[in-house]
Structure 1
Amino acid sequence: MKFSEIVTQTIAWLQREERVSYRALKREFDLDDDVLADLKEELIAIKECAADKDGKMLVWTGASSVSSAEFRVPSSTQPPASSPQHLAAERRQLTVMFCDLVGSTALSAQLDPEDLREVVRQYQKTCAEVIQRHDGYIAQYLGDGLLVYFGYPTAHEDDARRAVRASLEIIFAMQKQAPSSLVGEGQGEGVVVPPSPLQVRIGIHTGLVVIGEIGGHGRTEQLALGETPNIAARIQGLAEPNTVIISAATQRLIEGQFEGQPFGSHLLKGIETPIAVYHVQSERQINSQLEGKTTLTPLVGREQEVGLLLDRWEQAKEGRGQVVLLSGEPGIGKSRLAYALREQVTTEGSLLSEARCSPYHQHSALYPLIDVLQRSLLFTRQDTDEAKIEKLERALALSHMQESLPLFTALLSLPTPSHYSPLTFTPQKQKERTLQALLQVMLAQAERQATVSVWEDLHWADPSSLEFLSLLIDQLPTSKLLLVLTFRPEFTPPWKPRSHISQLVLNRLGKKQVEVMIEQAAAGKTLPTEVVEQIRLKTDGVPLFVEELTKTVLESVESGGGFGRSVISLGIPATLQEALLARLDRLSTARQVAQLGATLGREFSYTLLRAVTPSETDLPSALAKLVEAEILYQRGVGEQTRYFFKHALIQDTAYQSLLKSTRQQYHQQIAQVLEDRFLDTKANQPELLAHHYTEANLIESAIPYWQRAGQRASQRSANVEAISYLTKGLELLKTLPDTPERAQQELTLQIALGEPLRSIKGEGAPEVAKVYTRALELCRQVGETPQLFPAMVGLWLFYLVRGELQSARELVERLLRLAQNVQDPALLLSAHLQSGMTLYFLGEFASAREHLEQGIAFYDPLQYRSRAFHAGHDPGVGCLSYMSWVLWFLGYPDQALKRSQEALTLAQEMSRPFNVAFALNWAATLHQFRREAKLSQERAEAAIALSTEQRFRQWVAMGSILRSKALAEQGEAEEGITQMRQGIAPDQGVRSEAVMPYFLSLLAETYGKVGQVEEGLIVLTETLAAVDETGQRFCEAELYRLRGELTLQKFQVVSFKLQVPPSPQPLAPNTQAAVWVAEECFLNAIAIAQQQQAKSLELRAATSLARLWQQQGKKIEAHTLLSEVYNWFTEGFDTKDLQEAKVLLDELSV
């Protein structure tokens, strides 16, 4: 034993016993007199921790004296002396062993306490020696148990293996020891000492811990906190005597190196989920290190992959644009391969565009493109808005796209100069125009000069950016552009295979390729063969692992180490995370800078990093070290310098090494600096501040920024992003105490969430109802609030679209009372419109007319033209359009037409596509009411064209149904039926249940025209049943009339197609029954229409019944019935319904 080890163990002995005789020291360490004298000199004169007493013993005089019951571990298993910074608490992966002596209770009953002490002491000493050989650290002696760490304070590449090997060696060593050989002389008579060897149980688990100094008042120790030590202790309890049980987490790290077998899954005390464990039996003689090796090729590195990229680049330069989808696991070399392409492109002098997706901006619409624009336009923080606009104008002029400047200023959050026309598109249309403009710029640039565009980390792309890439890929084949997209395997590209798209999946490197890479990474330094082999085996062909672990070894050598085993253990950790942490540890203060940078993101500016770095930090020096170590890449100089983590894994590792409390501190500091000093970011990227405040656990500060980010995204039609932001705000809000302030904040978020949710899910989606139901509940909690009205409107629209008219009616009545109470003209206008709509679908046309007339009276085009109401259309257009329908039902077809034309004119004057599409569809419906097929078709086709362009799916579907009916009326009934069924289908996005009865009546009528009477009757039966259930009675009279007509057609009583009576003939009994059924249907229709004051429907039903009575010879009754209705009308005599009624009256008069 080395003299230094004797010194440290003697110190530990003195700390425990407080005094030790020279005789005991000579026997314990087999010392001669000279060595004993040296030991006394070292302890008394040099270390000043002991004193001689009477020439017989040493007495402890140092600090931290402990009780005699505590056994101190030999120093080689304790952490070495380090600076306070090194001993600061940290997060790291640790393999924990828990070892327990079997049968200690029985031994205590069989042995004298002094002899038992000696047995336990020798057991602990034996374990410590084995643990010392494997560089483990005994954290605690817990009675007859040991808590041991592998991977602390120094990580090794095989800490899990060391723990398992040490465990097997401890069991082997215990088998050589028996209590009978350990007890001292003087054992009392009659005491039987067990002759069998000592036995132990051992459990091992690997996992994440926080390890640091615990304790105080001179009594401290390094302890790991977390679930990992507890699991190790619980697993030990599963072991049989002299067995080693390990967790699945540890098994994965030593797989193939030991013989063993599964030991089942167990639910451990205090652990929520079952833990799979394994029984380790022995170490394999030949370790399995070949798993995962790739087939060797004659090429070195990525020659084939580079060749493919260059081939696609040559095709692109010839005007045959190409896409390369480059995928692979983290660290496999995607970025490195793209960099090789960049070098070729820049050497040629061609253009290169680089976009980076960010985990902080996964829901920031078009973030990569905005970033590319800002960098390519050379925007600086010092630039004024005017200077930025000037740069933008110059750039757009190159592509002759100056007229698109307002789209780009909106995208870049810049004011639009006054000499440009303001944007008047809907948010969705503006988004589409912006994407098209970006596409045009990129293609125009490639047309001028062949270009490579590299998009990295597509797995973090926002939905809008993916939409842009889809547009770009569609137009790429005829351009001089090579598009390279990199992503991890978990991302599934949304693009179908096409001739100009190549898929490139990176595989791991072979043996020779790894050796060449190690040589290159060593930069001229020669590594021993055994070191190269260890690197190759541990990296398993992953380029990033190879590169980083080689540099770790070199840095260890440069810092004064050698290529001895301990240095290799430090230089080649078992995982990349450990390797990176080892590199960061050796960077001293630069480590903290790397962690702070990692908190900022994959990319960050010097200016922002400087703003959040403590003033005493030598930031330039630290950054220089990080760049030199190739943890960071640098671009630019001075204040414009930007830094990039070489790999996302490097950033992740640096960030995850931080304690949670430190992370929160950093995020808070970053958020506050952004808020106070980076006003552009605060205004244009509120989601970034929201993220940092969230990670800082400053929930009350984060929520307003999530709200602002959601509202900003919604205004841009980035609905997916808006939903994400607002939902995040709501989730955070749940963590706050239930107060009136929280309820008000949640109400604001719920109201904001409703609009984008309706756009994505549809107005009748259950998610929409949940949002507005919750909003109403919050309104009741908050009390009087202006947000009550939009909450009620949102839920009212849900009920209306779902056809739940009674619920809609109850809400709209409350809306009207609320508007009347506050006497707000805008609210009154909205409430009267919503009342008129609801009453229309209920079939209460006279009341609907009253409300719509009041709405029209409140409407002031100048005041409300810039405002969007419940469904996005102008309230004036809505009132006039619904009024046209109501007037037709009430028997005023000409006044209805006039109102419809007014609505369409008003919508067109506003130049708002949504209003125009709405008015066109309502006009097409009115012409269908009036049986003007050609005009209905024209309006419907105009609505379809506009709605398709603007992506108004509900209006496309409605227009398609109306167009199909118009075609059927003009002789294309079969095609009309097919198209109508497609438009009515639930997956078409229309399914406004409120209007479904009318659409279904059109389908049933068309079935009759092609002779499919049974299909038509089935539709009518189902629809009438639904009307009874929902109260959608606006076309109930027409449904009964059509049932009567189809019933007669089924028995050929009346020609439905021609609607002329056949020759009078005696009726068969079954035919007579059909006539009675039809007559009852017509009478029901008339009664319902009369109750609803629906004169137009009453006229149709009376005409049908009069025609039937005419066939039965009841001409007088028929004439009386029809004339009473006909004579009521004062207009519309040129419409088909009144013309046919007049012809029939003339026939009945003869």
Structure 2
Amino acid sequence: MRSVRKWLTSLGLSEYADRFAEHRIDFSILQNLTDKDLKEELGIVPLGDRRKLLRAIAKLAGAASATRRPAPGSKSSPRDEAERRQVTVMFADLVGSTALSTRIDPEDLREVISAYQKCVAETVPHFGGFVARYVGDGVLVYFGYPHAHEDDAERAVRAGLELITVVAGLKMRAPQQVRVGIATGVVVVGHLIPSGESEERGMVGETPNLAARLQSIAEPNTVVIAESTRRLLGSFFQLDDLGMRNLKGIAGPVQAWAVLQASSVASRFEALHASGLTALVGREEELELLRRCFFRATEGEGQVILLSGEAGIGKSRLTSAFVRLLAGEPHIRLRYSCSPQHTDSALYPIIGQIERAAGLAREDTSRAKLEKLDGLLKQTSTSATDAALFAEMLSLPNDRRYPAVELTPRQRRQRTLQAIVLQVETLARSCPVLMVFEDAHWSDPTSLELLGRVVDRIRTRSVLLVVTFRTEFKPGWIGKPHVTSLSLNRLAPREVGAIIDHIVGSNPLTASMRQDIIERTDGIPLFVEEMTKAVLEAASESEAQRAAALVPSPALAVPASLHASLMARLDRLGPAKELAQIGAAIGRGFSHFLLSAVVRKPEAELQSALDRLISAGLLLRREGTPYATYCFKHVLVRDAAYSTLLREPRRALHARIAETLESHFAEISEKQPELIAHHYREAGDVAKAVGYLSAAGDRALSHSALKEAHEHITQALQLISALPDDDIRRHGELKLQTALARTLQEQKGYGDRQVGEAYTKAREFSKRVADAGMHLAALYGLWAYHYLSGQPAAMLEQANEFLALAEREDEAGPIMVGYRLVGTSRLINGYIADASDALHQALVRYDPDAHGAASPAGRSLRARFGHDVGVTMHSYRSWALWLSGQPADAEKAAEIELERGQALEHDDQSRLYALWHAGMTYVLLRNEDKVAEIGSQLTELADDRQLPYWQALGNFLCGWRAARGGQAGDAVRLLDEGLRLWAQTGSRIFRPIFLAFLAEAYAADDKPDLAHRTFEEALRTTNETGERWAEPEIHRLFGDFLTRRGSGDAAIASYEQAITVARGQGSRSFELRATTSLARVLSDQDRHTEAHDRLLNIYRSFDAGCDAADLADAKALLDEPPSAS
């Protein structure tokens, strides 16, 4: 091997050879040197020289790893574990070697193949490739493993083109040719054999096979690529569409492309956005700053903008928008683009700019190129000596048109830099100059030195220099008077949404998917763009295509266009990468204590790895007591790290995390059981995952977090089906199904069809389980569904069955609830007297201390049967009391109900229940002020919780109050909206009385036809559903309407029907109200005696001294003297 001294000389750094010798540094030590070693130990101060050395050292290490062949039976150290990742694979094959073997001596063939393999070994590492395996005259190369680069696909294609050129130049007896196939995809790669002789880094997946098959269809000296690779190339290359090809061993036809040559592009950004730019969002202030600096420069005050930001933040997009903004302004634009593949190529961005400005083409002859260069340089009156230096810089031969330049290498370098700066100054004398130097973090040291000179020289020139770079690059020009630093921040969610909408256009995108993109892209415009495009593409793919691509879902996948750049960040971590994977399995954020407990490494080693992650910009640390917490800076970085884990190691890791949370974090087990469930689910422990999800659902339900409860319970039900069909599973299914039904009823309302289906399924499950408690819960749910969906007969049947089962089991609490259900059911069916008896039986069994919300029994009953039992009991008891002719007692019961409801601060459903039923009691009592107060409270709480069921009921109370207050238009609007919401919940209970209220409002709003039709609908609905309790009132209200319309006889018939029905039900208050209305009409017809006698008869049946509104109206009518006819 050559000496270190010769190596340094080849780099142009021979002045450091003695220092390396003094410190006894040979090639075995080189790859361990750090920047700190070079600066502090070896005294190499210039930053450019240190960077050049470090890059050259990295290339030496890469070449060594690419060509290393372990001896049989030897073990490589450290061993690379297999992992899942996106890789670009190149398969190159020497053309005609099989035929050649029949014509030449084996030793000669060996020389040919050896020369070919040497070409590969020397060419591929230069582009960051890894030579994985030689297969006869073929070679398999990985780009993206073991170290990823953000441009792996581009590197692979450039390597393939270069390999063709190099092999063609081999000095052999006959010219040699190569075929190259390239494909990109997700694979499992690394040491795939757990033990034994093989240490080869193998690969499993379709991608290497696809690359080999594409190679087989390539013409000699041609690179053929797959569509998966083409998508990542932008416009870096000119391609020929080979169409869809059927390839052996590959399912279905494959799109193939032949690479003709590299394209001449002004910048990487333009090449990667050849199909068009997304909208520039949220950069108005930055664009204005750039504009102001340009106009200052036009006045002779040279300006420098240092535009920085993390990868993908939009530096190039902003620069592109700025260039377009200045399109109408007179200026000269010079654009320089650095490349990650040319960080050691002196003046690479300057050479590229000059070649584009001169219009040099690959096919041009040297003479033609020199002519074009002369044409460009004449514009600035460049001297012949400087022109010779420019030609030399562009590697063009001097055909004696320029004088010979006799300078030492150092003088030549200095004179060249001066000539370039002079070009800029000369241009600026005639017209303002805009210089854009992109991606300075990839610049070669010589270009950086040139840039420093330009910064100093343009201060009094009409030049604006915009330098873009990533945050890890530290320019040395900050602080100069004419230098402005501009750092781009992440976009706000609203701005991210605007970019998504621009990309999506008219394509469908669900709200949840849109929110997922916003959350996962962290305000990085490039992430937003690529993630949105990937989601749209995935939505257009079939399930088979997604399965073939190994992508679980479009929401979970890291876009292929971002995968390489994200993996490149992780691969630079070294041993700390394992910690990133463990952290990724925990989640986006985690505490130091949890990580330490899971990792089980010495604290010093753990802290060192964390510091590495933080310094690399992948983790953020927030100090806290007693432990710090960490968070991945980007969700997609976390996703990329997690995606590399194979299934079994991933499951084992999740199991370790779950066990750690269980044993060390009791608070998480109690407050975040869904987190432990997640880790057990990913670990494949279904039983434990189901248990924790069930606990999470119960906890969410108890806190009225209905959406979360639904999600947890649904996941648990999906998982539990994978368990053996035994008693444990059946009991779990019943519990979960009942919990799901409860969640749905509180989300959608008891009357929704899904609620009925869920409870029906729960009842079926209950028949397979010997658990009376669960059976009762299912029966209660079915009862509630029949109640709300307007099926009173079925409701009463379920109530009787519930009570019978509770009595058989002799459980006091359920027996009390059973009597409440029977009483409520009888009331809705119109059996008022029977209802009162049953509700009384429930009341005498109710003990506030034993069954209240604060007691364990009370909480248990609430959890099993939906609401606080005290609230529900007093609710229907207040109605029954009023209906049976005890208005004063009804009001007291309503007051108790309200007090109980207000005391339940954390039980929204019971509070809402109390407000609605008490409000309806006050409607019956005709207490308008109380109805207004309660209706407002109900509406506010329902709106805040976004519960349409309760919102509808709030509308009914407020609508009734508006009608009573003479606000007929508002009443119509509120009642109509209430009925619409009510129907959306699937509820039909109370619909008859609500329709009667709406009909009243229509009549008051001078819409008699609508009123008449709505009254008829109310009566028709009563007959259809069998809900009879309000039937007397509907007949009475219809009679009042007919009276106002002058249809006295028809009105009397309605009143008589109301009285008959009320009397049959035992509904004395409705009978009193209907008789009062009848008496008024009879009096108007001069039937005073009949009116007085009938009203007095019912009036006297009520307690004396009661000041209820209906009794007051009746008494006033009785006290009226007969009018003179």
TM category (shorter chain) comes to 0.5 to 0.7
Q: Percent identity?
A: 33
Quick check: 1:330–1:649 contact (8 Å CA) kept in 2?
A: no
Alpha-carbon distance between aligned partners in 1 of 2:901 and 2:436, rounded to the nearest angstrom: 71
1:844 counterpart letter in structure 2: Y
What residue in structure 2 maps to residue 881 of structure 1? 875
Alpha-carbon distance between aligned partners in 1 of 2:768 and 2:102, rounded to the nearest angstrom: 70
Alpha-carbon distance between aligned partners in 2 of 1:944 and 1:625, rounded to the nearest angstrom: 53
Please say if 1:623 is aligned against 2:609: yes
1:207 counterpart letter in structure 2: V
What residue in structure 2 maps to residue 821 of structure 1? 808
**Residue 1008 to residue 696, structure 1, CA distance change in 2 (3 Å):** same
Cα deviations by residue, 1:196-222 (Å, 9 ceiling, x for unpaired): x99979463333433333497646754
> Bigger shift: 949-958 or 675-684?
949-958
Please say if 1:282 is aligned against 2:260: yes
1:332 counterpart letter in structure 2: I
Aligned partner of 1:859 among 824, 846, 854: 846
Alpha-carbon distance between aligned partners in 2 of 1:895 and 1:1004, rounded to the nearest angstrom: 30
Aligned partner of 1:258 among 222, 237, 261: 237
Alpha-carbon distance between aligned partners in 2 of 1:965 and 1:637, rounded to the nearest angstrom: 56
What residue in structure 2 maps to residue 29 of structure 1? none
Aligned partner of 1:291 among 253, 269, 291: 269
**Residue correspondence of structure 1 range 437-516 to structure 2 within 5 A:** 512=437, 514-515=439-440
Aligned partner of 2:720 among 733, 741, 759: 733
**Residue 1136 to residue 230, structure 1, CA distance change in 2 (3 Å):** same
**Residue 928 to residue 328, structure 1, CA distance change in 2 (3 Å):** farther
> Bigger shift: 835-844 or 800-809?
800-809
Please say if 1:134 is aligned against 2:120: no
Aligned partner of 1:583 among 572, 579, 585: 572
Aligned partner of 2:733 among 742, 746, 760: 746
Aligned partner of 2:767 among 776, 780, 791: 780
1:579 counterpart letter in structure 2: A
Cα deviations by residue, 1:711-743 (Å, 9 ceiling, x for unpaired): 334444444444444444334334434433223
Quick check: 1:127–1:170 contact (8 Å CA) kept in 2?
A: no
What residue in structure 2 maps to residue 1094 of structure 1? 1067
What residue in structure 1 maps to residue 1014 of structure 2? 1019
Please say if 1:659 is aligned against 2:646: yes
Quick check: 1:671–1:693 contact (8 Å CA) kept in 2?
A: yes
2:81 match: secondary structure: coil
Quick check: 2:224–2:259 contact (8 Å CA) kept in 1?
A: no
Alpha-carbon distance between aligned partners in 1 of 2:609 and 2:65, rounded to the nearest angstrom: 36
Quick check: 1:203–1:237 contact (8 Å CA) kept in 2?
A: no
Alpha-carbon distance between aligned partners in 1 of 2:640 and 2:944, rounded to the nearest angstrom: 47
Aligned partner of 1:160 among 149, 153, 161: 153
1:841, distance to aligned residue in structure 2 (A): 1.9
2:88 counterpart letter in structure 1: T
What residue in structure 2 maps to residue 224 of structure 1? 203
1:204 match: secondary structure: strand
2:192 match: secondary structure: strand
**Residue correspondence of structure 1 range 7-46 to structure 2 within 5 A:** none
1:841 match: secondary structure: helix
Alpha-carbon distance between aligned partners in 1 of 2:849 and 2:736, rounded to the nearest angstrom: 30
**Residue 610 to residue 638, structure 1, CA distance change in 2 (3 Å):** farther
**Residue 510 to residue 753, structure 1, CA distance change in 2 (3 Å):** farther
2:998 match: secondary structure: helix
Alpha-carbon distance between aligned partners in 1 of 2:916 and 2:603, rounded to the nearest angstrom: 67
Quick check: 1:610–1:619 contact (8 Å CA) kept in 2?
A: no
Alpha-carbon distance between aligned partners in 2 of 1:236 and 1:774, rounded to the nearest angstrom: 58
Alpha-carbon distance between aligned partners in 2 of 1:119 and 1:1023, rounded to the nearest angstrom: 102
What residue in structure 2 maps to residue 543 of structure 1? 470
Alpha-carbon distance between aligned partners in 2 of 1:513 and 1:636, rounded to the nearest angstrom: 36
Quick check: 2:143–2:155 contact (8 Å CA) kept in 1?
A: yes
1:942, distance to aligned residue in structure 2 (A): 7.1
Quick check: 2:777–2:865 contact (8 Å CA) kept in 1?
A: no
Alpha-carbon distance between aligned partners in 2 of 1:942 and 1:610, rounded to the nearest angstrom: 50
Cα deviations by residue, 1:1025-1045 (Å, 9 ceiling, x for unpaired): 333332222222333343444
Aligned partner of 1:332 among 303, 313, 322: 313
1:1113, distance to aligned residue in structure 2 (A): 8.5
Quick check: 1:581–1:657 contact (8 Å CA) kept in 2?
A: no
Alpha-carbon distance between aligned partners in 1 of 2:804 and 2:309, rounded to the nearest angstrom: 62
2:258 counterpart letter in structure 1: V
2:1065 counterpart letter in structure 1: Q
Alpha-carbon distance between aligned partners in 1 of 2:285 and 2:615, rounded to the nearest angstrom: 29
Alpha-carbon distance between aligned partners in 2 of 1:209 and 1:545, rounded to the nearest angstrom: 31
What residue in structure 1 maps to residue 537 of structure 2? none
1:755, distance to aligned residue in structure 2 (A): 5.0
Alpha-carbon distance between aligned partners in 2 of 1:989 and 1:1012, rounded to the nearest angstrom: 26
Quick check: 2:654–2:679 contact (8 Å CA) kept in 1?
A: yes
What residue in structure 2 maps to residue 561 of structure 1? none
Alpha-carbon distance between aligned partners in 2 of 1:974 and 1:860, rounded to the nearest angstrom: 46
Quick check: 1:893–1:1132 contact (8 Å CA) kept in 2?
A: no
1:692 counterpart letter in structure 2: H
Unaligned runs of 5+ in 2: 3-62, 274-282, 290-307, 316-433, 452-466, 476-561
Aligned length: 798
Alpha-carbon distance between aligned partners in 2 of 1:620 and 1:575, rounded to the nearest angstrom: 26
Please say if 1:707 is aligned against 2:685: no
Aligned partner of 1:1005 among 987, 1000, 1003: 1000
Please say if 1:213 is aligned against 2:203: no
Alpha-carbon distance between aligned partners in 1 of 2:702 and 2:993, rounded to the nearest angstrom: 34
Alpha-carbon distance between aligned partners in 1 of 2:665 and 2:1054, rounded to the nearest angstrom: 73
1:280 match: secondary structure: strand
1:1004, distance to aligned residue in structure 2 (A): 1.5
What residue in structure 2 maps to residue 596 of structure 1? 582
Alpha-carbon distance between aligned partners in 2 of 1:263 and 1:1030, rounded to the nearest angstrom: 69
Aligned partner of 1:1053 among 1043, 1047, 1057: 1047
Quick check: 1:92–1:657 contact (8 Å CA) kept in 2?
A: yes
1:824, distance to aligned residue in structure 2 (A): 1.0
2:767 match: secondary structure: helix
2:988 match: secondary structure: coil
Alpha-carbon distance between aligned partners in 1 of 2:1009 and 2:69, rounded to the nearest angstrom: 92
**Residue 623 to residue 754, structure 1, CA distance change in 2 (3 Å):** same
1:1033 match: secondary structure: coil
**Residue 938 to residue 704, structure 1, CA distance change in 2 (3 Å):** closer
Alpha-carbon distance between aligned partners in 2 of 1:531 and 1:725, rounded to the nearest angstrom: 60
What residue in structure 1 maps to residue 597 of structure 2? 611
Quick check: 1:331–1:544 contact (8 Å CA) kept in 2?
A: no
Quick check: 2:959–2:970 contact (8 Å CA) kept in 1?
A: yes
1:258, distance to aligned residue in structure 2 (A): 1.6
1:250, distance to aligned residue in structure 2 (A): 0.8
1:282, distance to aligned residue in structure 2 (A): 0.4
Quick check: 2:88–2:182 contact (8 Å CA) kept in 1?
A: no
2:261 counterpart letter in structure 1: E
Quick check: 1:776–1:791 contact (8 Å CA) kept in 2?
A: yes
Please say if 1:668 is aligned against 2:655: yes
Quick check: 2:703–2:907 contact (8 Å CA) kept in 1?
A: no
1:1014, distance to aligned residue in structure 2 (A): 1.2
Quick check: 1:928–1:936 contact (8 Å CA) kept in 2?
A: yes
**Residue 275 to residue 1034, structure 1, CA distance change in 2 (3 Å):** farther
Alpha-carbon distance between aligned partners in 2 of 1:807 and 1:119, rounded to the nearest angstrom: 95
1:582 counterpart letter in structure 2: D
**Residue 1036 to residue 233, structure 1, CA distance change in 2 (3 Å):** farther
Cα deviations by residue, 1:641-689 (Å, 9 ceiling, x for unpaired): 5556566555444443333322322222232233223434444443433
Aligned partner of 1:83 among 60, 76, 92: 76
TM-score between both structures, scaled by the size of structure 1: 0.58
Alpha-carbon distance between aligned partners in 1 of 2:311 and 2:983, rounded to the nearest angstrom: 41
